[in-house]
Amino acid sequence: MAMAASEIERLLKEALPDSQVVIIDLAGDGDHYAARITSEAFKGKSRVQQHQMVYAALQGHMGGTLHALKLETLVPK
């Protein structure tokens, strides 16, 4: 079962309230997305830690209802 982009965005904004989130369906199948997440919460964190924060926000959907997610995490300028 595929996951809607709006659900991904909701989960991310719930976990990272200050975030700006852009979700792109890469294949048009609801299974392969790219996400650009900008949040102050990423400040001072390594790229691995930032991605772990995103995976935690997705509450176990990664690898299940969400097959693939290309991540770009940013700190606001």
Task: Concatenate the DSSP letters of all residues of 25-67 into one string.
Answer: ESSSSSSEEEEEEE-GGGTT--HHHHHHHHHHHTTT-BTTTB-
Q: How far apart are CA 4 and CA 16, in angstroms?
A: 19
Helix axes 5-15, 47-57, angle to 10 degrees: 110
pLDDT digits (tens, 9 = 90+) for 6-25: 999 999 999 999 999 999 99
Considering the entire predicted model, what is its pTM?
0.89
pLDDT digits (tens, 9 = 90+) for 23-47: 999 988 888 899 999 999 999 999 9
- Neighbour count for residue 1 (Cβ, 10 Å): 7
